[in-house]
């Protein structure tokens, strides 16, 4: 199932609220946030062998990549919002 089918209702809601581009970005942010939560929960059970207080290296790398992707999406949403406000 594609993302457009699986998140149809959520996409319609956010596209109506923010417009097509920003609505899709908002849904993307929600998906990234959910992925970060799941990786964080998994990190609790997959501790580093060297330092049991931190998650395993692969979990930390995945979490960092997701966090960076989320930061980039957020920056695009903010730029789109500013551009829209600048047109008013």
Please report the pLDDT score of residue 88 as a whole number.
64
Please report the pLDDT score of residue 54 as a whole number.
84
Please report the pLDDT score of residue 45 as a whole number.
81
The pTM of the whole model exceeds 0.85 = no
Name the nearest CA neighbour of 73 among 21, 15, 2, 37: 21
Please report the pLDDT score of residue 76 as a whole number.
93
Number of neighbours of residue 27 by Cβ within 10 angstroms: 20
Determine the angle formed by the axes of helices 8-18 and 20-45, rounding to 10 degrees: 130
Average pLDDT across each block of 10 residues of the chain; the chain has 88 residues. List them in order: 94 94 94 94 83 87 95 93 82
């Amino acid at each position: 199932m594609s993302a457009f089918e699986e998140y149809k209702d959520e996409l319609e809601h956010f596209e109506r609220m923010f417009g097509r581009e920003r609505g899709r970005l908002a849904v993307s942010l929600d998906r990234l946030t959910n992925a970060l939560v799941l990786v964080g929960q998994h990190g609790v059970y997959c501790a580093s062998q060297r330092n049991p207080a931190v998650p395993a290296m692969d979990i930390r790398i995945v979490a960092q990549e997701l966090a960076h992707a989320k930061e980039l999406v957020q920056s695009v949403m903010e730029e789109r919002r500013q551009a829209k406000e600048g047109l008013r």
